[in-house]
Chains A and B, each alone.
Chain A
């Protein structure tokens, strides 16, 4: 422990020495200006989409105050000419909106529609009593189904009739207000009875009348809810709200004032928490790279300290800085510090594991920059993309950011959901640390070789050659978090393609990527052993293929167990995790496919490895199709 702390102390001293004197002042200065400027701009309501639409408006048209629209006053003749010449996107003549028959004009019409709808709602809220202007109020109740209530042991759930007020009791007697003809056709008003059918003439810009002449002045129970929603609606300046609330239990919603659960909070959370961690990890990786290139690491390695102590010692200060950043951000945002740490520590460890591997694998700064950039995007995409579907799709639980969104919404999540989101990240860190300590030697760190050679060397160094069976089994098992993340990322890719492709083709693409990933993960250790001539006989290949299949099956079933507790079982999850009713069949499948891949490679050489993966994948695909045959046919 003292060795670790000594190295950590040295790391802090080194970092401090980097930023002293003029440098420190310069950095603090530029940082302060950047923060202040961002703050000022944020509070000036930044509009990126400024003047993106050109709108021609006649003299009797509406007043439009929205930065997106560039308003050009035009008489009808010039308006129509300019619309035809595509100089403007829309022309408004009085209350008539004229568009062109092309996409750009239609999008402009859509944007204008949204703007004018809001203005109209504000207008009617000023001109009329809210009872007239917002006549439809909906009280939301969430109801557990029988199966769910059994699971959650909520025996005393009230029945619907108990929830409903006596006044709400349905009676289909003649309406005091609307008489409509039932049937599939839109309603036809035959005889409005109430005196409210003759409304007062609206007075432009008049304040809300104290009592609308035609409305009985009774304050409805839902009126306060309408006023509240209306206030929120009027105050909505387009700036993203941090807490994206949606309809809660017993909340009264007004359809025209209902704000969609804009997923911007997910992106903001990633920005608030993940970006500072990335900043800190840049220092870690730069320090590591620098000491690697100037051979200071080699000097450290000659001291009586283990590689583990060196790595932990170097990483520790940056981990502490990141944890401090998480705590400070949570306190500023008013979140639960304990929960935030539980959610963001695995993310932080995952980011550090990526940066550690980048620093170990590469020797040039350019490589490091590119891989770091790629890591930033991949990790951000992996965290943000599933979290966009928080509360919409259970698949969102593959990202820990989903848990953070729930935390800030004041909603709960259970241990299984937490484990599904974070276990791959914890495991990825543990595996990375293990790999890092095994490959931490001068020859590996200083060697210039292509990436695939470096990776295969790393796998070779990680394995215990005296216990090959256990090594291959563990390798297959511990690579599962990486396979899981690749498979999850393949979902993102497939989603991208799905706009142009059919669902079956999209599913097919996910299948293929998942299967190929699995086949690589299972066979890679054996291939490295073959390449290094540690094993030569076909019997050994078959024996190790069984161990690889077994290792993968154990990990896969553990993950499946977690996944199915969180996600509803579907054709997709079944295929993704190769769920079989009996363990023996999937084990056989993994054994057979891994054997196919390894035997072909052993027989024909490493050049045929891609072909061998393809052959193994075909068999794997046939098995998966057999499993889900009932769902497909």
Chain B
């Protein structure tokens, strides 16, 4: 056992020496920036009200025609929209051309309960997209109002909820990505360390020392798993600090470590089979795609499980996490059984 710890320390030292952990954190920091920007972007697209949260909007809406239409009232109720009424379309056009207003609405009288109106937007993609998104909410309210006038009542319009898009995006995409990314790196590290030993023929030297082949490989796998564990812990702390709480963090950590261990064992098998880094890394990348696909057939899949755990869903817990010990145990046993055979086999 002592030999195992000596080897583990050596592996960890080599990782630390190459400043790889620092780089891993840098990668993750960048993902954080990326995700936040995507969050803001998606929020703006899905929920027009968040446009004004991210950037102040003050849209001047020129209205001609039926200027006392209820549609105008719903627009007026929005803080970010200002209505300017015009007597005729030409003066509205003049105001638009001289940038006194941003958009022009021509609202006719309702005809048999239908309002067929025209909306003039600036040609610029930027301005027209923002204008349309900012106008969409009051226009939807106006639409519901017109429906009521037609005798149609929409149910459940008064549910008071928060914009769920960013919440779902964060917990079902970003957090699983962040928690499993260290696991992907763990697999890559295992391939690197194994192929380095095999290509530089240092494994033979190491084998001459009083250590078993399993101790050598398991120390490499353990070092990679420990690195993944440290990164996941850092991630949970960073997320917590950014007011994105990760519930059930012990279960979340346990699942991340089990996935990292499983991938590290798969990577070790691939590394030993191919014996050179080039092929091993390529096959490992494809194997990742395959594993991700296969895991999706499970219920709950690792992605879904980590999402629900991090969200605080009470229907999942340690039992579901423990289930993933089964594939890990199978792959781990396969590795123990055939590692020696693979090492001595020709590439």
Q: Do B286 and A30 touch (CB < 8 A)?
A: yes
User: Residues 354-395 of chain A: 1 if any B CB is under 8 Å from the residue's CB, otherwise 0?
Assistant: 000000000011111111011001101100110011111110
Select A140's contact among B70, B119, B157, beta carbons within 8 Å: B119
Query: Closest residue to B24 on the A side, CB-wise?
Result: A370
Q: Does A579 contact B (CB under 8 A)?
A: no
B169 to chain A, nearest CB (A): 9
A466 to chain B, nearest CB (A): 36
A154 to chain B, nearest CB (A): 10
Q: When A and B form their complex, which 6 residue pairs have the shortest distance between CB atoms, in order from nearest? A: A199-B151, A170-B65, A109-B161, A110-B161, A182-B68, A37-B293
- B residues 100-126 in Cβ contact with A at 8 Å: 104, 106-126
Q: Does B303 contact A (CB under 8 A)?
A: yes
Interface size band for A: 35 or more
Q: Do B116 and A139 touch (CB < 8 A)?
A: yes
Q: Does A339 contact B (CB under 8 A)?
A: no
Q: Do B315 and A51 touch (CB < 8 A)?
A: yes
A493 to chain B, nearest CB (A): 5
Select A104's contact among B115, B147, B278, B312, beta carbons within 8 Å: B312
Q: Does A145 contact B (CB under 8 A)?
A: yes
Q: Which of A38, A52, A220, A451 has the most CB of B within 10 A?
A: A52
A576 to chain B, nearest CB (A): 17
Query: Closest residue to A212 on the B side, CB-wise?
Result: B150
Select A263's contact among B42, B128, B185, B200, beta carbons within 8 Å: B42
Q: Do A374 and B285 touch (CB < 8 A)?
A: no
- B residues 66-103 in Cβ contact with A at 8 Å: 66-71, 73-74, 76-77, 88-90, 92-93, 96-97, 99
Q: Which of A169, A365, A378 has the most CB of B within 10 A?
A: A365
Q: Do A367 and B20 touch (CB < 8 A)?
A: yes
Q: Does A334 contact B (CB under 8 A)?
A: no
Q: Do B161 and A108 touch (CB < 8 A)?
A: yes
Known: A27-B282, A293-B199. 9 other contacts (CB 8 A): A48-B301, A135-B114, A139-B117, A181-B68, A192-B149, A200-B151, A286-B282, A496-B32, A499-B36
Known: A135-B143, A381-B33. A145 touches B99 (CB 8 A): yes
B74 contacts across to A, CB distance below 8 A: 186
Select A177's contact among B18, B97, B119, B149, beta carbons within 8 Å: B149
Q: Do A255 and B162 touch (CB < 8 A)?
A: no
Q: Do B113 and A198 touch (CB < 8 A)?
A: no
User: Residues 9-50 of chain A: 1 if any B CB is under 8 Å from the residue's CB, otherwise 0?
Assistant: 000000000110001001100110110011001000010111
Q: Do B160 and A99 touch (CB < 8 A)?
A: yes
Query: Closest residue to B163 on the A side, CB-wise?
Result: A110
Q: Do B104 and A160 touch (CB < 8 A)?
A: yes
Tell me, in angstroms, the Cα distance from A168 to B285 when the chains sit together: 60
Q: Do A54 and B315 touch (CB < 8 A)?
A: yes
Q: Do B33 and A495 touch (CB < 8 A)?
A: yes
Q: Do B156 and A95 touch (CB < 8 A)?
A: yes
Select A54's contact among B14, B107, B300, B313, beta carbons within 8 Å: B313
Query: Closest residue to B56 on the A side, CB-wise?
Result: A503
B170 to chain A, nearest CB (A): 10
Q: Do B110 and A51 touch (CB < 8 A)?
A: no
Q: Do A114 and B38 touch (CB < 8 A)?
A: no
A387 to chain B, nearest CB (A): 10
Tell me, in angstroms, the Cα distance from A579 to B313 when the chains sit together: 53
Known: A108-B164, A178-B149, A492-B37. A196 touches B129 (CB 8 A): no
- A residues 410-427 in Cβ contact with B at 8 Å: 411
Tell me, in angstroms, the Cα distance from A90 to B76 when the chains sit together: 33
Select A52's contact among B89, B168, B189, beta carbons within 8 Å: B168
Select B160's contact among A33, A109, A164, beta carbons within 8 Å: A109
Q: Does A561 contact B (CB under 8 A)?
A: no
Q: Do B286 and A48 touch (CB < 8 A)?
A: no
Q: Does A146 contact B (CB under 8 A)?
A: yes
Stretch from A124-132, A311-319, A596-604, A612-620 that touches the partner: A124-132
Q: Do B36 and A189 touch (CB < 8 A)?
A: no
A52 contacts across to B, CB distance below 8 A: 168, 171-172, 307-308, 311, 313
Q: Does B342 contact A (CB under 8 A)?
A: no
B245 to chain A, nearest CB (A): 9
B139 contacts across to A, CB distance below 8 A: 136, 138, 255
Q: Do A112 and B161 touch (CB < 8 A)?
A: yes
Select B33's contact among A41, A168, A246, A493, beta carbons within 8 Å: A493
Tell me, in angstroms, the Cα distance from A181 to B69 when the chains sit together: 9
Q: Which of A26, A168, A170 has the most CB of B within 10 A?
A: A170
Q: Do A366 and B20 touch (CB < 8 A)?
A: yes
Q: Do B36 and A282 touch (CB < 8 A)?
A: no
Select A144's contact among B109, B113, B123, beta carbons within 8 Å: B123
A287 contacts across to B, CB distance below 8 A: 278
- B residues 150-201 in Cβ contact with A at 8 Å: 150-152, 154-157, 159-164, 167-168, 171-173, 176, 185, 188-189, 192-193, 195-196, 199-200
B213 to chain A, nearest CB (A): 21
Q: Do A388 and B38 touch (CB < 8 A)?
A: yes
Query: Closest residue to A406 on the B side, CB-wise?
Result: B125
B252 to chain A, nearest CB (A): 15
Q: Do B279 and A116 touch (CB < 8 A)?
A: no
Q: Do A142 and B128 touch (CB < 8 A)?
A: yes
Known: A95-B155, A178-B149. A50 touches B304 (CB 8 A): yes
A152 to chain B, nearest CB (A): 9
Tell me, in angstroms, the Cα distance from A303 to B192 when the chains sit together: 31
Known: A48-B307, A132-B152, A279-B282. A393 touches B167 (CB 8 A): no
A629 to chain B, nearest CB (A): 22
Q: Do B189 and A366 touch (CB < 8 A)?
A: yes
Q: Does A299 contact B (CB under 8 A)?
A: no
Q: Does A258 contact B (CB under 8 A)?
A: yes
Q: Do A135 and B33 touch (CB < 8 A)?
A: no
Q: Do A172 and B65 touch (CB < 8 A)?
A: yes
Q: Do B120 and A143 touch (CB < 8 A)?
A: yes
| 12 A-B pairs (CB sep. < 8 Å) | A27-B279, A95-B155, A99-B161, A110-B163, A113-B156, A116-B159, A124-B152, A160-B96, A184-B76, A263-B38, A290-B199, A378-B30
- A residues 257-296 in Cβ contact with B at 8 Å: 258, 260-263, 279, 282-283, 286-287, 289-290, 293-294
Tell me, in angstroms, the Cα distance from A184 to B79 when the chains sit together: 12
A148 contacts across to B, CB distance below 8 A: 123-124
Query: Closest residue to B132 on the A side, CB-wise?
Result: A247
Select B279's contact among A19, A99, A293, A373, beta carbons within 8 Å: A19
Known: A136-B115, A176-B111. A87 touches B18 (CB 8 A): no
Q: Does B239 contact A (CB under 8 A)?
A: no
- B residues 9-55 in Cβ contact with A at 8 Å: 14-15, 18-20, 23-24, 26-27, 30-34, 36-38, 40-42, 44-46, 48
Q: Does A241 contact B (CB under 8 A)?
A: no
A247 contacts across to B, CB distance below 8 A: 121, 128, 132
Q: Does A159 contact B (CB under 8 A)?
A: yes
Q: Does B203 contact A (CB under 8 A)?
A: no
Q: Do B155 and A37 touch (CB < 8 A)?
A: no
A217 to chain B, nearest CB (A): 10
B15 contacts across to A, CB distance below 8 A: 366
Q: Do A199 and B41 touch (CB < 8 A)?
A: no
Q: Does B217 contact A (CB under 8 A)?
A: no
Known: A135-B150, A186-B73, A279-B282. A70 touches B315 (CB 8 A): yes
Q: Does A107 contact B (CB under 8 A)?
A: yes
Q: Do A37 and B294 touch (CB < 8 A)?
A: yes
Q: Does B331 contact A (CB under 8 A)?
A: no
Tell me, in angstroms, the Cα distance from A161 to B90 when the chains sit together: 7
A417 to chain B, nearest CB (A): 11
B196 contacts across to A, CB distance below 8 A: 364-366
Q: Do B65 and A171 touch (CB < 8 A)?
A: yes
Known: A164-B106, A173-B109, A176-B109. A107 touches B167 (CB 8 A): yes
Q: Do B290 and A37 touch (CB < 8 A)?
A: yes
Q: Does B283 contact A (CB under 8 A)?
A: yes
Q: Do A496 and B36 touch (CB < 8 A)?
A: yes
Tell me, in angstroms, the Cα distance from A265 to B168 when the chains sit together: 19
A290 contacts across to B, CB distance below 8 A: 199, 276-278
Known: A110-B164, A178-B149, A216-B112. A374 touches B23 (CB 8 A): yes
